[in-house]
Amino acid sequence: MQSQKLDSLGVDCFETVVHAGYDAPAKPSPEPFEMALSTIETPPERAIYVGNSLGADVAGAHNTGMTAAWLADGTDEPEPVPEYSLDSPRDVLDILE
């Protein structure tokens, strides 16, 4: 299912893709995050994970020592608390500036 989502974007800009729950244990396990970081030879403190799930994405990023950017869904007090809340995936560009 995740491969279909990526294909539907019509872009080929990902250096590596790990399918958590298939290639590695499901998030929030740190293993899928660690697999991706290892592949791109990047330490967790130099990476930002962008996701839309507090329990899987934000918690998993934090379990790995990564900064988390969350695609906000209107939750007033998100838990766990991401370092960044984004209205759109495009907003990640503002973080990188």
User: Any idea what the CATH number is for the domain that residue 44 is in?
Assistant: 3.40.50.1000
Is there a cis peptide before residue 28, judged by omega within 30 degrees of 0? yes
19-41 as b/e: b if 16+ CB within 10 A: ebeeebeebbbbbbbbbbbeeee
pLDDT by 10-residue block (mean), the chain, 97 residues = 77 83 94 97 96 96 98 94 93 89
Smallest CA-to-CA distance from 44 within 29, 26, 63 is with 63
Specify the pTM. 0.88
Please give the pLDDT value at position 29.
97
Residue 65 falls within a domain, yes or no? yes
Smallest CA-to-CA distance from 69 within 31, 43, 96 is with 96
In which domain, by residue range, is 75 found?
2-6+16-96
Domain count, the chain: 1
